[in-house]
Structure 1
């Protein structure tokens, strides 16, 4: 089975559409959305409605911190995020907000746990930026595989029984084998707002038969997304960072 795992779309229609097409071209059997459907980007209505349709077709979808902020009208975020969250909520209908509010914080599928931030207190939106955070995440679940987003930077951590995880930086579009002896934590990068210096959209493609994962990079028209961000009066930095991948 091939599983396409997408995170942090952030209402970026241009990025999402090309990633979805790339996933389909690769014969994906299962689609997983790891949250932050909205926030920052200019197409929240499109994204929520698209996600709802995909869930009806069998996709899995969980909540991210920006989804929660919009659904619960929370303001404990950075200034740019707060402005975008308020703008997003003003454009969503009650049915859209209800969809976001009903998303689960995590989902289990066989030996795979899906969570937006960390398995360690999922609703606290903790970042996994180092081995210590990865160790706490893995220690909070017995799943062999944990998949998450939130940092917007792709990464892998391998953990042998009784040992601390080892960090591995995956290469773009190069398959990485899973170890039979290890547990794995996979941070899948970001579709709609990459922050690893590469502006191309990123998603993870897992092949359960070949026992491997690839971080697939897909260029998209980030200039068009930035144009819409500016046209809607959203903070200029939200468009600029799409161009530089930061």
Structure 2
């Protein structure tokens, strides 16, 4: 079974379309959207509609903090994030809002758990950036494979009983192993706002038969999206971030 994981789309139409084409070419058995469909970017309605189409086709979709903030103020957000969410609310129809409001915080599928942020208290939106945070996720669930987003930086963590997790930075477009004797946590990077120094969109391709994860990078016209961010009156820093990948 092969699973494509799209996290942190953030209303970036150009990145999403590029990733959709790459995913279609891969023809995975399942698709997961790991939260933050909206926020930051200039095309929230389009992003929600694409996510809803995927969901109608059987994709698993979980709630992200920016998705939740459409209906419930998040006081932990940065000023730029809050400004973008206030703008986003005016771009969404009742149908768009209802779709986001109906998303679950987590989805369990066999021995896998899909969640936007950390598996421990997922609605508090903790980041999984290091081994200590990964350990809290592992302790919160018996799932053998945890898949999340939220940090915008691709990462993996390996764990075995009685030992702390080990962090691993997967190389772009290179398979990283899923070891039979370990549990794993995969942070899928970001489709719409990468922050690892590479502006190309990122999605994770998980192959359960070959036991590997590949962080697929997909170039797109980030400068076009940046111009749309500025034209919408969104914070300029959000445009800069797209081009720099940070």
Please indicate the TM-score interval, normalised by the length of the shorter structure: over 0.9
User: CA–CA distance in 2 between the matches of 1:43 and 1:159?
Assistant: 38
User: CA–CA distance in 1 between the matches of 2:242 and 2:22?
Assistant: 19
Shift of 1:75: 4.5
User: CA–CA distance in 1 between the matches of 2:112 and 2:164?
Assistant: 20
Name 1:171's counterpart in structure 2.
171
Is 1:222 paired with 2:222? yes
Shift of 1:72: 2.3
Which SS does the other structure have where 2:71 is aligned? helix
Shift of 1:126: 0.2
User: CA–CA distance in 1 between the matches of 2:192 and 2:113?
Assistant: 22
Give per-residue Cα distances to partners, 1:143-180, cap 9 Å, x unaligned. Answer: 00000000000100000111100010000000011111
4+ runs of 1 displaced by more than 2 Å? Answer: 71-76
In angstroms, what is the RMSD of aligned CA positions?
A: 0.8
Q: Contact conserved, 1:76 with 1:82, CA < 8 A, in 2? A: no
How many residue pairs get aligned? The number is: 246
Name 1:34's counterpart in structure 2.
34
Give per-residue Cα distances to partners, 1:162-203, cap 9 Å, x unaligned. Answer: 110001000000001111100000101000000000000011
User: CA–CA distance in 2 between the matches of 1:89 and 1:115?
Assistant: 23
Give per-residue Cα distances to partners, 1:101-140, cap 9 Å, x unaligned. Answer: 1100000111110000010100000011111111111110
User: CA–CA distance in 2 between the matches of 1:76 and 1:169?
Assistant: 27
Show the 5 A alignment for 1:94-113: 94-113=94-113
Is 1:10 paired with 2:43? no
Q: Contact conserved, 1:4 with 1:31, CA < 8 A, in 2? A: yes
Q: What stretches of structure 1 of length at least 5 have no aligned partner? A: none
Shift of 1:73: 4.2
Name 1:211's counterpart in structure 2.
211
Q: What stretches of structure 2 of length at least 5 have no aligned partner? A: none
Is 1:20 paired with 2:3? no
Name 1:53's counterpart in structure 2.
53
User: CA–CA distance in 1 between the matches of 2:75 and 2:206?
Assistant: 35
